[in-house]
């Protein structure tokens, strides 16, 4: 991760994710009063007075036996020490200092990085008095907060960002891990998919569409592979229906596409592809993102012999001209093909990284050009002499020729098809340029 990174560490239920959400929030905070929610590490970008930093919530876990619990929390502290430039150590005034707090404090005191002790749930004056006991933990920087109301967060942030120097650069979630965005219309099954992948209730699924927070990046490990899922679903709460909800959900989808390498676009099998889906699809294509289409709620469709094949064919016609896209029929409810979907997204990620050696490329494509020449213009034959893959993020090819402006779309499409039929670029938009030799 580029930029300054802050990790939040502490026992479950002290309010870490409440603070995490608050730091990420540009709009009004909504508090999740469901506790004991399992989640992996979460990453987000916060912004205060024009300075940005990464925030890592090192996670909460459902209580197991005491020693599992202690082991986990030590691990959390160590991860924080490794990954972060600054650590927020969060305690809860309502429980006072627990043994586990003292343990974690011992680990953190030995860290060579600044540790800010944050005593949370200091909601009123009485609790302010009680909070003074935390001075005994011996940290130089101590803050009293109510993450729920936001009181005290300003002071914390002021001091926190004073550690950030311009040389540290803008915060960015750009790790080397594949980043897969889960995109789709409200109620298509995004949260259910996340839940199924985690194997536990990370998100609270409800029938209320839309939420009011930004993208969340979650680190996963599956099939011996590490990757990030970017979701816009967030933790579901009972929110009041808000007229801006639709607007923000589109904005967040665009943001998630921007932040991703591969877009997993969920469709509702019954509803089919909507205009909104097509505009996200074409946005992702223009931005050169990898794409996998999931036709979800496949369980709700009555099936004959060729249903899937016909469905896919029709769908691809709507997605044209870019139709070399994997289509997976999923049922999150019945846990059908959801791992296949992730595997496919990771394959598309690899395809997008594919680099073809110039010699191999020329050998195959010059032969294809020989077999089917570009048309003659104004009596002059178009001669393509040479092709190379450009050193770009997303696959792009340059064909060097005598009349670059005269090569028209049908021939361009022929060349793209030749590339696709010889090399695996499934799910990846290709850019093709013609240049003067
Ligand atoms: P985590 O497990 O450490 O991530 O804790 P959560 O953020 O999930 O919070 C646990 C519980 O404490 C939730 O019910 C929150 O609503 C509550 N909580 C969080 N911050 C505050 C606070 O400042 N004051 C009060 N009174 N409750 C809070
Ligand atoms: P989100 O708004 O995209 O996050 O959608 P949710 O995950 O909240 O799902 C909306 C509704 O669709 C919930 O009632 C889910 O139980 C239901 N749902 C999700 N996936 C499936 C599926 O594969 N089949 C069926 N029948 N229902 C599903």
ipTM of the complex: 0.62
Q: What is the mean pLDDT of residues 390-403?
A: 94
CB of residue 336 inside a 6 A radius of ligand 2: no
Crossing angle, helix 275-286 and helix 307-319, to 10 degrees? 60
> For position 380, what pLDDT does the model report?
93
Reported as a single tens digit per residue, the pLDDT across 275-316 is: 989 999 999 999 999 999 999 999 999 999 899 999 999 999
In angstroms, the first-to-last Cα distance of the chain is 40
- Tell me the percentage of the chain whose pLDDT exceeds 70: 82
Query: What pLDDT, on the 0 to 100 scale, is given for residue 75?
Result: 73
What pLDDT, in 10s, does the model give residues 14-33?
998 889 888 875 432 222 33
> Quick check: CB of 201 below 6 Å from ligand 2?
no
Whether 207 has a pLDDT exceeding 50, the answer reads: no
The reported pTM is 0.66
Integer angstrom CA distances of residue 9 from 87, 89, 237:
7, 5, 24
* Ligand 1 binding pocket mutation candidate from 12, 15, 93, 120 (most atoms within 8 A of CB): 15
Cα 263–Cα 259–Cα 261 angle in degrees, nearest 5: 45
Atom of ligand 1 nearest to the CA of 147: 23
Mean pLDDT of 318-338: 95
- pLDDT higher than threshold 70 for residue 381: yes
| Nearest CA owner, ligand 1 atom 6 | 15
Instruction: Report the percentage of the chain scoring pLDDT > 90.
Output: 58
What is the predicted pLDDT for the residue at 233? 54
Chain-centre distance for alpha carbon 94: 35
Averaged pLDDT, 218-241: 63
Show the tokens assigned to 159. 């001091």
Q: Which pLDDT band, with edges at 50, 70 and 90, does 337 fall under? A: very high
Neighbours of 321 (CB within 10 A): 9
Whether residue 179 is predicted with pLDDT greater than 60 in this model: the reply is yes
Count of alpha carbons within 13 Å of 433, Cβ hemisphere only? 11
DSSP classification of residue 427: T
- Looking at every residue in the chain, the average pLDDT score rounds to 84
Tokens of 179: 């980043």
- Greater confidence (55 vs 311) lies with 311
Instruction: Say whether pLDDT at 261 is over 70.
Output: yes
- Across 371-400, average pLDDT: 94
Q: Is the CB of 146 under 6 A from ligand 1?
A: yes
Beta-strand runs (E) in 223-336:
225-231, 262-268, 290-296, 327-329
């Amino acid at each position: 991760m580029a930029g300054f990174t802050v990790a939040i560490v502490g026992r479950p239920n002290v309010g870490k994710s409440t603070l995490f959400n608050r730091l990420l929030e540009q709009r009004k905070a909504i508090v999740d009063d469901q506790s004991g929610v399992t989640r992996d590490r979460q990453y987000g970008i916060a912004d205060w007075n024009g300075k940005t930093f990464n925030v890592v919530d090192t996670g909460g876990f459902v209580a197991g036996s005491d020693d599992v619990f202690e082991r986990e929390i030590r691990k959390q502290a160590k991860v924080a020490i490794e990954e972060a430039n600054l650590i927020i150590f969060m305690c809860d005034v309502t429980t006072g200092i627990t043994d586990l707090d003292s343990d974690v404090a011992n680990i953190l005191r030995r860290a060579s990085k600044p540790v800010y002790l944050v005593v949370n749930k200091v909601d009123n004056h009485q609790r302010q008095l009680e909070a003074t006991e935390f001075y005994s933990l011996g940290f130089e920087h101590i803050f009293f907060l109510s993450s729920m109301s936001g009181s005290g967060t300003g002071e914390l942030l002021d001091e926190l960002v004073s550690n950030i120097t311009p040389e540290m650069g803008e915060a960015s979630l750009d790790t080397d891990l594949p980043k897969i965005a889960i995109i789709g219309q409200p109620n298509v099954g995004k949260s259910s998919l996340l839940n199924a992948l985690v194997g536990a209730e990370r998100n609270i699924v409800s029938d209320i569409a839309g939420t009011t927070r930004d993208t969340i990046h979650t680190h996963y490990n599956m099939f011996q592979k590490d990757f990030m899922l970017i979701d816009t679903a967030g933790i579901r709460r009972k929110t009041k229906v808000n007229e801006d909800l639709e607007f923000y959900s589109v904005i967040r989808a665009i943001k998630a596409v921007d932040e991703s390498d591969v877009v997993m676009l969920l469709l509702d099998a019954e509803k089919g592809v909507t205009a909104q889906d097509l505009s996200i699809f074409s946005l992702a294509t223009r931005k050169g993102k990898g794409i996998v289409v999931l036709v979800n709620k496949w369980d709700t469709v009555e099936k004959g012999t060729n249903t899937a094949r016909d469905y896919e064919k029709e769908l691809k016609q709507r997605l044209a001209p870019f139709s070399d896209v994997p289509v997976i029929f999923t049922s999150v409810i019945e846990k059908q093909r959801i791992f296949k979907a992730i595997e496919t997204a990771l394959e598309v990620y690899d395809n997008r990284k594919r680099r073809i050696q110039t010699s191999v490329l020329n050998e195959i494509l010059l032969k294809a050009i020989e077999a089917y020449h570009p048309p003659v213009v104004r009596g002059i034959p178009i001669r393509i002499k040479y092709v190379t893959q450009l050193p770009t993020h997303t696959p792009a090819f340059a064909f060097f020729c005598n009349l670059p402006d005269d090569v028209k779309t049908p021939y361009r499409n022929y060349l793209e098809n030749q590339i696709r039929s010889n090399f695996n670029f499934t799910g990846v938009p290709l850019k093709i340029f013609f240049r003067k030799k």
